[in-house]
Chains A and B, each alone.
Chain A
């Protein structure tokens, strides 16, 4: 059997295994790569070369950059803005999501745009009580149309522009792609809005982020931190200024909840200063009497305000449960107490959901609310003897918009986008540098960085490279291309465009867009010359065709990226993908020759 026949068998088997959907994707992808080596079509080095390809490094480091945005609360902030615009309407989320991803694609390319917006949309989806499957596929498809809006949208655009310069003798300017790209985007929006609800499958996402945006309020309610709670603000003239925190002269009927400095950081030790806030709980008249005696301004506190005091940029709270056999059982605690480590303060202790008043001896099953800086909470999170209900890090990411470091991460991302858009740095280099900067500045730990990378996507992209290599190297691609061009014979030039489109779209389904473009460009130019027409419309048709990769999850990186989070299966893509491909076909065959005449 010839290499080409073996190769076609491997391609068929790979697609069949993908469609069957019973084997893990990584197994199928790596299996197909290994098959190419074991059948002797590729050498071992060629088989693994994909893992060192800049595109793979780009995608992996992009995940880290996205996680940096999330960790510093930028995603939470964008989410809030999204929430304002969307206003609880899923249809609006769909439209806004698609437009946003299309607008971002030319800047940070299609997979970058998906990577940046996916966490935001996931969070919104949870708040709306929807499934992400409804939104992510349309967004992935919109990112493909968005990539056709400017030269920087995809690597293949650069190849197309090169070909236009070399064969048609004409520079395509930066936004000229948009002449075809805008109709593509409008067509995509129309198809999704008209038939999307029927064609996009309902799938249950394997894991959804928990919605913790109201977490602070929930805790205020649970531990009743807003009832009978008063904030006493220290005047400069108050006799309490200079008193050590632990020697606050509180009467028996008032209990200390917390002391914080004017910025909101809990004050655990040291002396009280002017502007400090002493939060106490007790009867209103007792609080009033104490305030009058000590020269304090008294304010009642609302639930909203209490929540803001609990969780802000500097500090947060964590809820901890004492399990059986814990070393902490038998210890004495009281609200307002500073823990033995000196960096956390106990705000409240409950047993079976009921408040415990005054000093208590801890028992198994008690739950406590402790407050401290985010760093302190994170440090004690893994401690033995307590179970943490919600990870402080998870809470902070969702609840605190634009937390510490948000501005730095935003500048890093801005620099990265600028460097890519201006062509100063290769995308892989720019994203690796951005990811490195985020790690070095400590906005993300190395472990969190590894956890944030969707390895299935990375491995899938890397493992599909050898297939492209083999298609080109064995001459299989050439064979297909030649056959099709022959079939056109002497029909109209539009028939040629149609054939090029079909070829590009079919090949683009299994091979990367860049590879497809590379294989088909010479054939396209030669065929146009043989017809005696300008190569420009043919080249642009090819450009549209290679963007039309909607039929399978492995057709483009964006398609792959949304597969796992939304829980799509292999065969979920073509129902919506087919009408979109038809739209692209119309643009490629009828619209393109009107803009760039033969």
Chain B
């Protein structure tokens, strides 16, 4: 009996500390696990066992998959598609946006999906001349709806499926969630379309997240790369054949500047798309190589004539931004640091950096091209071109400061980058493994994460950084609380109280009660923590009432996803608060219809699919 009250006290303490919100979440969670040990309810092994639970491992591996999709440009591609397809109609935009974010969040969880689409939606809002506030909350709420489509949508889904396995021997199927998720998404779309204009504020926001999706164009404009860029192909009889690229001196030729030297088409035919200039990686020029120069048309003509070069038309017409910025070629802007060893060196456009795999496209000082031959000084800006890999590994932190990190640019601005196909294959394989139940979910997740490492889409460092450790630790450290609630009989006690309160009014009243309890708790503390507390209670209650735990657990899952009423209900609600310039009270106004719809689905729809 005393153990039960200790558990209740710990639960109350955890909830109070979460609401107080002055201690780090992980301190509260791990403190909770230690409290269970210190009060003698669990052994030290038991109170730490949650970290080795399959659900914890699976949740961690989902973050890795999300990062893999982001890094290989799959999520950027979804954003791009959204931009291209949405057009000018508001309804169409909201429908497409909600569907896109719903599907993404089902695959890579709410956080990943919202983070990926937030910048795109802000750009769309600006382009369509609407307040971002009218679009951002529908985006986040759409993601909450979508998280109920698949097992991988939120950690809560994993937990309720595990709980069902413990109770009945088999969990919810990978796609089974969609039976509840599809009505939620459809309802969400309707609410956003019909009520959005009325319930959402149209304030202009002061701070918008930086948009890197047009990064290449910005750079091309800054360095005037598009004005008068010409590609020249070296003929067999050209005197340039056999010379060293570093001897290409254009400084005496009426303001001509070398942009880049491309390899002959044959060498790279397999890789290069039409119009791509693939950078030369050797010093000697050969016939067929392309020299890209910038400058006055007549000067280019003179130069071409004198050295036996053919002016190539198709490169000229292809947008320069795409030529220089694609999956094989990255651009990065770097600033020479004070006290950098490069100060005093003489760099010129077209030269290869000493590391050998980056090319200097332009050098500017105070927004103007640096005079040829002038030594570098602190604060000069260089535009570099090279492979994405070289960009991420070769920039020497002792020499330069990178203005926008290539990794960030790559994520936002490069749809379907290197490794995108592989990523999709890995994702498909994981979905098949999960859907068929061939291996347990955690094993499927780990195999997919391992595949990302082995194919080089993520490196070990990026993998660790991609995992949201707070969530993982929360799941691992709170799981023993779940166990303790069940073991000590605390769940039993609460279940008996619930059963007697429900009385003869039937199981739907139980679902309604659990929904309200979960949803209220979920507005103030993390959904995952809420689920870990409610799940054991709901399973025991279902057993007591002699009904199947399936509808009860699913209703809890739906309720846990219903984080609509406050900005602090989930991290994603908070994420859009500033860009949407929302106030605290804006959330419940738009959230209430969603909440009512979720209630209807949980209490009336769910028992139709999963009978009592």
Contacts and interface: CB of A to CB of B under 8 A. Distances in A.
Contacts of B48: 52-54, 57, 428
A368 to B, nearest CB: 10
Interface stretch (A163-171, A228-236, A350-358): A350-358
Contact of A321 (B210, B366, B379, B476): B379
A432 B34 contact: yes
A57 B51 contact: yes
A376 to B, nearest CB: 20
A213 B563 CA distance: 49
A323 interface: yes
Interface in B12-58: 23-27, 30-31, 34, 37, 44-45, 48-54, 56-57
Nearest to B468: A450
A218 B335 CA distance: 20
Contacts of B459: 24
Interface string B433-475: 0000001101100110010011000011001100001100000
Contact of A389 (B333, B401, B443, B469): B401
A350 B378 contact: yes
A428 B210 CA distance: 43
Nearest to A352: B377
A462 B52 CA distance: 9
A440 B27 contact: yes
B54 A48 contact: yes
Contacts of B460: 24-26, 456
B339 A37 contact: no
Contacts of B403: 323-324, 387
A520 B446 CA distance: 34
Nearest to B46: A52
B70 interface: no
Given A24-B460, A439-B26, 20 more contacts: A23-B454, A27-B453, A51-B56, A52-B49, A52-B50, A52-B51, A53-B48, A54-B48, A218-B339, A319-B338, A321-B338, A323-B381, A323-B401, A350-B338, A353-B377, A365-B380, A365-B381, A428-B44, A436-B30, A450-B470
A475 interface: no
Interface string B329-349: 000010101110001000000
A384 interface: yes
Contact of A429 (B37, B50, B54, B401): B37
Interface string A200-235: 000000000010000000100010000000000000
B364 interface: yes
A48 B464 CA distance: 18
* A-B CB proximity, top 9 nearest: A365-B379, A52-B52, A352-B377, A51-B52, A52-B51, A52-B49, A455-B464, A387-B401, A49-B52
Contact of A44 (B343, B440, B463): B440
Chain B contact surface mostly: helix
A26 B64 CA distance: 14
Contacts of A432: 30, 34
B218 interface: yes
A27 B31 contact: no
Contact of A51 (B57, B380, B439): B57
A27 B459 CA distance: 11
B421 interface: no
B52 A48 contact: yes
B583 to A, nearest CB: 24
Nearest to B402: A387
A367 B450 contact: no
19 contacts: A26-B453, A34-B443, A38-B439, A49-B49, A52-B49, A52-B50, A52-B53, A54-B45, A321-B401, A325-B218, A353-B343, A353-B378, A364-B367, A387-B401, A387-B403, A429-B37, A436-B27, A440-B23, A440-B27
B365 interface: yes
Contacts of A37: 443
B222 interface: yes
Nearest to A465: B52
Interface in A462-486: 462
Interface in B57-79: 57
Contacts of A324: 222, 333, 364, 367, 381, 403
Contacts of A54: 44-45, 48
A433 interface: yes
How many chain B residues sit at the interface, stated as a range, is 35 or more
Interface string A425-468: 01011001100100110000010001000011000001000000
A505 B364 CA distance: 63
Interface in B551-573: none
Interface of A: 23-27, 30-31, 34, 37-38, 44-45, 48-54, 56-57, 210, 218, 222, 319, 321-325, 350-353, 363-367, 384, 387, 389, 426, 428-429, 432-433, 436, 439-440, 446, 450, 455-456, 462
A389 B337 contact: yes
A440 B57 CA distance: 26
A175 B54 CA distance: 42
Contact of A222 (B210, B339, B463): B339
B165 to A, nearest CB: 11
Given A365-B366, A365-B380, A436-B30, A321 B450 contact: no
A136 B253 CA distance: 57
A87 B53 CA distance: 50
A446 B57 contact: no
A440 B24 contact: yes
Contacts of A350: 338, 378
Nearest to B48: A52
B338 A222 contact: yes
A50 B54 CA distance: 11
Contacts of A426: 44
Contacts of B377: 352-353
A142 B34 CA distance: 33
A186 to B, nearest CB: 37
A36 to B, nearest CB: 12
Contacts of B453: 24, 26-27
Given A54-B44, A446-B24, A366 B56 contact: no
A384 B210 CA distance: 9
A347 B359 CA distance: 36
B190 to A, nearest CB: 38
A433 B35 CA distance: 11
Nearest to B401: A387
A429 B44 contact: yes
Best-surrounded residue of B50, B52, B440 (most CB of chain A within 10 A): B52
